Amino acid sequence: MPKTIIITGARGYIGRALAKRLTSEGHELRLVSRSSAAPRIEAAADAKIDYYTLDLRDLESWLQFLHGADAIIHLSSRTDLRAAEENPAEDRDLNVKPVCALVDAAERAGVAIPVIFASSTTIVGDAHVNPVNEETPDRPCSVYDLHKLECEVMLREASRRGVIRACSLRLATVYGYGVGVDSTNPNRGVLNAVMRGAAQGVAPTIYGEGKYIRDYIFVGDVVDAFCRALDSEQVLDGRHYVIATGHGYTLVDAFKCVVQEAHRAFGREVAVRHVPEPPDLHPIQKRNFIGDSRLFQNLTGWGPQVQLQSGIRDYFQRLVTQSQAADMT
């Protein structure tokens, strides 16, 4: 049945793709951004979308649009690793206080609304056994991840008290063509940045041998995970769930795949360029990660559908289509 869904950070990389999916399914959306300059979502003329520019650290802001909503997907976050390390207090203000206000607003409104929180698999830190699942100990080694975990704990406790019904989706490394916008954060959108560059003939640059392992998950599969969580009461239990593919690739193998697919799409010859690893590389950037999503799959029926090469090929095919359409106008 159609629902009224609040999405914070809705005009960002994942948010735009998620909004497009939910509007196509007939849901009414309340899209929240911190800036009024954020681009609007392309949607059908009859799509039911309301836009809000609010400070989510403010309790009254949440109360303003909470009434009548059926669910909240909280994507809004500053994901800059280095900025968080340089100013932990500011990062907490931007990333933790909105969740505090959300919980307080839900308690005041007296509605145990479902809340799906976008979290990160990097909460387990840089030294762990692979594959990582929900039982893997949390050992955050960055300010950003400490604050993500603080939000998760807050939502879990609020769920235990019956204030909300929440779950946290810990996302692996998300990549793939964005709906009008890519992930541009240099710490969190590396593969997309490499693909953008390769499409323009820029050689990907990699630190050292590029042997660190990542589990890359396609943005469309991430969107589907959020949609499955919306429709699955059994995961709205306050816990966190790993959203990953279960397959690991070294950075150099992923970059080489980008080079191959860029050549296939554009005929441009580029090669992966190796440079020395900088001495100030954060430990979390040196991690080796593979995720195990079987618990979430068993509870919701979700499963990753797009393999890495197919997702990279899709990215370049969309760029080609976009270029051809521009040439015709």
Predicted pLDDT at 11: 80
Q: Residue 272, Cα to own-chain centre: how many angstroms?
A: 26
Give dist(CA 153, CA 135) in Å, integer. Answer: 15
CA distance to 27, 203, 255, 322, per residue, from 319 (Å): 29, 18, 18, 5
Alpha-carbon separation of residue 174 from 14, 240, 244 (angstroms): 9, 17, 9
106 contacts: CB under 8 Å, gap ≥ 6: 62, 66, 112, 113, 115, 158, 163, 164
Give the start-to-end residue ranges of the domains of the chain. Answer: 4-176+217-246+285-305
pTM of the model: 0.94
CA gyration radius for the chain?
Answer: 20
Kindly give the interhelix angle for 308-328 and 251-266, rounded to the nearest 10 degrees.
Answer: 30
Which homologous superfamily is 4-176+217-246+285-305 in?
NAD(P)-binding Rossmann-like Domain (3.40.50.720)
Summarised one tens digit per residue, pLDDT across range 260-303 is 999 999 988 889 999 999 998 999 999 999 999 999 999 999 99
Distance in angstroms (rounded) separating the CA atoms of residues 186 and 301? 33
Residues of the chain with pLDDT under 70: 37-39, 179-188, 325-329
Which pLDDT value is given to residue 10? 86
Q: Helix (H, G, I), strand (E, B), or coil: what is residue 324?
A: helix
Spatial neighbors of 241 by CB under 8 A, at least 6 apart, are 134, 167, 168, 169, 170, 229, 235, 293, 295, 296
Task: State residue 34's pLDDT score.
Answer: 79
